Amino acid sequence: MEILWSPWRSKYIGSFKDDSINSEGCFFCNAVNNPEKDEDLLVVARFEYCFAILNKFPYNNGHTLIAPLRHIGDLQDLSEVEMFDIIKAIKNVSAGLESIYKPHGFNVGANLGRAAGAGVPDHLHFHVIPRWNGDTSFTSTISDTKVVSVSLEDTQRELSYVLKNMKV
């Protein structure tokens, strides 16, 4: 086995002294509480118990996050109606992204807890990431750089419009 030596990672990991992010410091809660700023905050849809917001640091065009309206961090704390609403939102967002970008597939999932990679462990959220055959290339493999060719603002406007006008 080869070992990748990266001592600088310990500083990054050590920066997470306090896993708790209260609702005042949570960008999800900020979006929930400011519907008049949906466009600026990259919110693309609001549902009864959850909402969809673009990832500000996307892996691919259209990378969307689905989060419950409540500030909860544990899957076990979701009510049945919240679970259903989140799955319905994932379905609708996937359909909306499909109609706009025609991806070949999707990654859908959640990072539960800081150790699993959750950037905001106290506000549960799910990722919907469009994928295309060959969307990893020389640039991402060799230089650890990803090209995202559509602006967040354009994606926000287009996906919001599609989701608002969907017949589901």
- Kindly report, residue by residue over 102-148, the tens digit of the pLDDT: 999 999 999 998 888 888 899 999 999 999 987 764 444 444 555 56
Q: Please give the pLDDT value at position 65.
A: 97
Q: Is the pTM of this model over 0.85?
A: no
77 by Cβ neighbours in 10 Å (0-12 / 13-18 / 19+) ranks as exposed
Lowest-confidence pick of 3-7, 32-36, 66-70 = 3-7
Helices (H), the chain: 9-14, 27-32, 38-41, 80-101, 138-143, 152-164
Q: Please give the pLDDT value at position 28.
A: 96
Distance CA 102, CA 85 (A): 24
* 121 found inside a domain: yes
Q: Please give the pLDDT value at position 140.
A: 47
CB neighbours of residue 37 within 10 Å: 12
* 7 found inside a domain: no
* 94 found inside a domain: yes
CATH number at residue 95: 3.30.428.10
Please say if the pLDDT value at position 88 is more than 60.
yes
Q: Please give the pLDDT value at position 136.
A: 65
* 12 found inside a domain: no
Q: Are 156 and 39 in contact (CB under 8 A)?
A: yes
* 38 found inside a domain: yes
Q: Please give the pLDDT value at position 152.
A: 87
| Structure token pair of residue 102 | 């025609």
* 11 found inside a domain: no
How many separate domains does the chain show? 1
Element (H, E) at 76: none
Q: Please give the pLDDT value at position 119.
A: 84
Q: Please give the pLDDT value at position 138.
A: 45
* 9 found inside a domain: no
More confident residue, 121 or 82: 82
Distance CA 31, CA 99 (A): 25
- The pLDDT tens digits for 152-163 are 898 899 999 999
Residue 113 domain boundaries: 19-164
List, by residue number, the catalytic residues. 125
Please say if the pLDDT value at position 12 is more than 50.
no
* 40 found inside a domain: yes
